[in-house]
């Protein structure tokens, strides 16, 4: 495995993300949200500010997730449609290195976007002298990145199975329904027979529980919450690594012998 | 006898299209020796691109074997010393020409210091001197094709595989390319390319492979084919041969 090849391909993905205008539109959205936060504080509605900080943190998470899903699902189909893949794979690199480079690149772009959001959020919060619970806040950032890794790998896998638009839709649905699904599955479990319960368990493990990676509410209402223990953080890291690994392995199996 | 740089043996490539099986390449065998310049000609759909893509590992053999530098085609080891120009390729519009060559050079194992000197040199060789800092979205089709040639020679490989060599080039571009290829030939590099430009093939190649409906119809030196074609040269021979084989649609 050549780290050099992965680095070059990841650098290209990052460069593309930074040179396209989408990312700046996202930053403008963040700036708008912060402006509203400051606006609420200006009128002295302290309680609403807290609610709004939580909402804006969530919106920033959703926006980054959406950006990463779109970026990941478009990578391989666009390389094949534009035939830019030929000069790349004509080099002495393996397809797994190519795929890993793409994954790392998408994650770096996601990290850049998310870090930019968080910076703006922090500046806004500090401006209105809101308390920033650094422990929970940093844990939230870390877990969001772990979730982006799962979404990226899933995006790659789906883009090799279905059309790009369908892959984006499925990814977004899985992400959006993740919170609802977890609750629904728990409720349904009580009403199911043995076979139904097995099916629900399969579904529980087949679909990643992405809400586990969202600490936005805790990071804002910090007076009621302590930072997560290292054991929980480790478990969540393993959880993310397993799902990312499984989806990535699936993508590699499909891409390894694909005719180009 | 020189070493066989490319050795294809009983190679078949089959794929499904619209519910039917297409035998794009049907049991072909040939070799290309070190230092040779070999033209690969045939009508559209004859199996040229499929063969070249199989040599690069973009398509996979259904049966038979293809070796490049003694390694199975498509492995990173076999691609270590290949410069490849695809039939049609777009290059990342968000990159500058220099950045693109840095990417491909870097992936081929060249270090930054070497690339700093090599990139302007290669751009000048393909007639793009001073265009390194221009975004590729501003490049015309002909300039993109020249850049394609530049990326194929950036790492100074020993074997060149070009798919539709002169596609998209204006007469000046063709002249530049011909000069470049003659220079590579003089350096003892091995060149294997497909083209519809038979005059180009005739002027550059030592040997020609003619493929039709996935099978090699003829493998002979340019001099021999030219002699068979009489006053009409290689083009006359090619037209007669394809006609005798039932024409392009047979």
Q: Using 50, 70 and 90 to split pLDDT, how confident is the model at B205?
A: very high
**Nearest CA-CA distance, residue A61 and chain B, Å:** 27
Q: Is residue B57 part of a domain?
A: yes
Residues B101 and B77 placed together within one structural domain of the fold? no
Q: Where is mean pLDDT largest: A141-155, A220-234, B154-168?
A: A141-155
pLDDT of residue A45: 64
pLDDT of residue A41: 60
Can you tell me the distance from the alpha carbon of A56 to that of A128, in angstroms, rounded to the nearest whole number? 15
Query: Do residue A84 and residue B91 have CB atoms under 8 angstroms apart?
Result: yes
Helix (H) or strand (E) holding B68: strand B63-68
Residues B29 and B67 placed together within one structural domain of the fold? yes
DSSP of A122-161 = HHHHHHTT----HHHHHHHHHHHHHHHHHHHHHHHHHHTT
Q: Angle, to 10 degrees, between the axis of helix A134-159 and the axis of helix A46-82?
A: 30
Query: Do residue A260 and residue B84 have CB atoms under 8 angstroms apart?
Result: no
Q: Is residue B29 part of a domain?
A: yes
Q: Which of B60, B80, B99 sits opposite A257 (nearest CB)?
A: B60
Residue with the two structure tokens 């194929």: B152
Q: Average pLDDT, stretch A77-93? A: 93
Please give the residue that has the higher pLDDT: either A36 or B66. B66
Q: Average pLDDT, stretch A49-78? A: 86
Q: Is residue B39 part of a domain?
A: yes
Q: Using 50, 70 and 90 to split pLDDT, how confident is the model at B240?
A: confident
Residues B166 and B74 placed together within one structural domain of the fold? yes
A22-31, A191-200, B98-107, B160-169, range with the lowest pLDDT: A22-31
Query: Do residue A260 and residue B59 have CB atoms under 8 angstroms apart?
Result: yes
Closest residue in A to B59 (Cα) is A259
Can you tell me the distance from the alpha carbon of B20 to that of B14, in angstroms, rounded to the nearest whole number? 10
Residues of A in contact with B59 (CB under 8 A): 259-260
φ/ψ (deg, to 5) at B52? -65, -40
Q: Average pLDDT, stretch B240-247? A: 80
Does the pLDDT at position A116 exceed 80?
Answer: yes
Helix (H) or strand (E) holding B208: strand B207-212
Is residue B149 a contact partner of residue B173, using CB atoms and an 8 Å limit?
no
Residues B208 and B234 placed together within one structural domain of the fold? yes
Domain holding B242, by residue range, is: 1-81+158-170+189-250
User: What is each CA distance from B165 to A32, B117, B148, B168, in whole angstroms?
Assistant: 52, 26, 10, 9
pLDDT of residue A42: 59
**Nearest CA-CA distance, residue A92 and chain B, Å:** 4
Residues B162 and B227 placed together within one structural domain of the fold? yes
Residues B164 and B244 placed together within one structural domain of the fold? yes
**Among A4, A11, A75, A91, which would you mutate to test the B interface (most chain B Cβ atoms within 10 Å of its Cβ)?**
A91
**At a CB cut-off of 8 Å and minimum separation 6, what does A67 contact?**
A22, A23, A26, A109, A110, A113
Among residues B157, B180, B201, the one where a domain terminates is B157
Interface of A with B (CB under 8 A): 4-5, 8-9, 11-12, 15-16, 19-20, 82-84, 86-94, 257, 259-260
**Among B107, B138, B148, which would you mutate to test the A interface (most chain A Cβ atoms within 10 Å of its Cβ)?**
B107
Task: State the CATH number of the domain containing residue B11.
Answer: 3.40.50.300
Is residue B78 a contact partner of residue B68, using CB atoms and an 8 Å limit?
yes
Residues B97 and B150 placed together within one structural domain of the fold? yes
Q: Using 50, 70 and 90 to split pLDDT, how confident is the model at A46?
A: low
Q: Is residue B238 part of a domain?
A: yes
**At a CB cut-off of 8 Å and minimum separation 6, what does B179 contact?**
none
Question: What total of structural domains would you count in chain B?
Answer: 2
Q: Average pLDDT, stretch A155-159? A: 96
| Token representation of residue A131 | 């308390």
pLDDT of residue A28: 79
Residues B51 and B10 placed together within one structural domain of the fold? yes
Query: Do residue B82 and residue A90 have CB atoms under 8 angstroms apart?
Result: yes
Whether chain A has a CB inside 8 Å of the CB on B103: the answer is yes
Can you tell me the distance from the alpha carbon of B200 to that of A66, in angstroms, rounded to the nearest whole number? 51
Residues B163 and B61 placed together within one structural domain of the fold? yes
pLDDT of residue B250: 47
Query: Do residue A87 and residue B151 have CB atoms under 8 angstroms apart?
Result: yes
DSSP of A70-81 = HHHHHHHHHHHH
Q: pLDDT digits over B65-110, tens only?
A: 999 999 999 999 999 899 999 988 789 999 999 999 999 999 999 9
Residues of B in contact with A13 (CB under 8 A): none
Residues B64 and B112 placed together within one structural domain of the fold? no
Q: Using 50, 70 and 90 to split pLDDT, how confident is the model at A38?
A: low
Q: pLDDT digits over A117-132, tens only?
A: 888 888 877 777 777 7
Q: Which of A4, A89, A93 sits opposite B58 (nearest CB)?
A: A89
**At a CB cut-off of 8 Å and minimum separation 6, what does A64 contact?**
A26, A110, A113, A114, A117, A144, A148
Q: How many residues does chain A have?
A: 260
Residues of B in contact with A20 (CB under 8 A): 94
Query: Do residue B104 and residue A82 have CB atoms under 8 angstroms apart?
Result: no
Whether chain A has a CB inside 8 Å of the CB on B148: the answer is yes
Q: Is residue B177 part of a domain?
A: no
Q: Average pLDDT, stretch A196-221? A: 85
pLDDT of residue A126: 79
Distance between first and last Cα of chain B? 38
Does the pLDDT at position B1 exceed 60?
Answer: no
- What does pLDDT average to over chain B? 89
Q: Average pLDDT, stretch B10-18? A: 88
Residues B39 and B150 placed together within one structural domain of the fold? no
**Nearest CA-CA distance, residue B28 and chain A, Å:** 19
Q: Average pLDDT, stretch A58-72? A: 89
Alpha-helical (H) ranges within B74-208 are: 97-107, 112-125, 141-153, 171-186, 198-204
Q: pLDDT digits over A20-33, tens only?
A: 777 777 777 777 77
Residues B151 and B34 placed together within one structural domain of the fold? no
pLDDT of residue A245: 96
Among residues B107, B133, B157, the one where a domain terminates is B157
Is residue A109 a contact partner of residue A20, using CB atoms and an 8 Å limit?
no
Whether chain A has a CB inside 8 Å of the CB on B16: the answer is no
Query: Do residue A259 and residue B88 have CB atoms under 8 angstroms apart?
Result: no
Q: Which of B77, B83, B90 sits opposite A84 (nearest CB)?
A: B90
Please give the residue that has the higher pLDDT: either B112 or B172. B112
């Amino acid at each position: 495995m050549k780290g050099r090849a992965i680095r070059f391909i990841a650098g290209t993905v990052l460069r593309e993300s930074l040179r396209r205008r989408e990312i700046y539109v996202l930053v403008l959205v963040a700036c708008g949200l912060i402006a509203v936060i400051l606006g609420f504080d200006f009128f002295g509605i302290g309680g609403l500010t807290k609610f709004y900080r939580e909402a804006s943190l969530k919106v920033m998470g959703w926006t980054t997730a959406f950006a990463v899903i779109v970026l990941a699902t478009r990578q391989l189909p666009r390389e094949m449609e534009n035939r830019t893949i030929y000069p790349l794979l004509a080099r002495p690199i393996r397809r797994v290195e190519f795929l890993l480079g793409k994954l790392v690149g998408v994650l770096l772009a996601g990290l850049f976007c998310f870090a930019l959001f968080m910076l703006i959020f922090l500046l806004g919060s500090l401006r209105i002298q809101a308390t920033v619970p650094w422990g929970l806040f940093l844990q939230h950032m870390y877990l969001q990145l772990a979730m982006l890794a799962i979404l990226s790998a899933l995006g790659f896998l789906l883009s090799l199975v279905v059309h790009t638009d369908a892959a984006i839709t499925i990814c977004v649905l899985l992400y959006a329904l993740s919170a609802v699904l977890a609750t629904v599955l728990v409720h349904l479990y009580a009403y199911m027979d043995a076979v139904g319960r097995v099916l629900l368990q399969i579904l529980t493990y087949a679909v990643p529980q992405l809400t586990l990676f969202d600490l936005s509410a805790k990071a804002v209402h910090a007076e009621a919450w302590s930072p997560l223990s290292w054991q929980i953080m480790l478990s969540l890291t393993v959880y993310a690594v397993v799902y990312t690994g499984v989806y990535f392995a699936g993508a590699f199996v499909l891409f390894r012998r694909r005719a180009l | 006898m020189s070493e066989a740089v490319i050795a294809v043996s009983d190679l078949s490539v089959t794929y499904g299209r619209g519910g039917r099986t297409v035998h794009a390449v049907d049991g072909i065998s040939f070799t290309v020796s070190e230092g040779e310049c070999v033209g690969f000609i045939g009508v559209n759909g004859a199996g040229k691109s499929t063969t070249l893509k199989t040599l690069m590992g973009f398509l996979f053999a259904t049966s038979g074997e293809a070796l490049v530098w003694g390694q199975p085609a498509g492995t990173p080891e076999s691609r270590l010393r290949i410069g490849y120009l695809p039939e049609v390729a777009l290059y990342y519009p968000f990159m500058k020409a220099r950045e693109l060559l840095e990417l491909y050079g870097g992936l081929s194992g060249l270090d930054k210091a070497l690339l700093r000197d090599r990139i302007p040199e290669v751009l000048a060789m393909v007639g793009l001197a001073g265009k390194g800092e221009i975004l590729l979205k501003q490049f015309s089709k002909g300039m993109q094709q020249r850049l394609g040639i530049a990326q194929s020679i950036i790492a100074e490989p020993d074997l060149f595989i070009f798919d539709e060599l002169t596609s998209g080039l204006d007469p000046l571009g063709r002249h530049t390319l011909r000069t470049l290829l003659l220079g590579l030939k003089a350096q003892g590099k091995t060149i294997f390319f497909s083209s519809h430009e038979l005059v180009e093939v005739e002027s550059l190649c030592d040997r020609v492979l003619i493929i039709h409906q996935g099978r090699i119809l003829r493998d002979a030196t340019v001099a021999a084919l030219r002699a068979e074609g009489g006053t009409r040269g290689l083009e006359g021979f090619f037209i007669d041969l394809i006609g005798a084989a039932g024409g392009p649609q047979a």
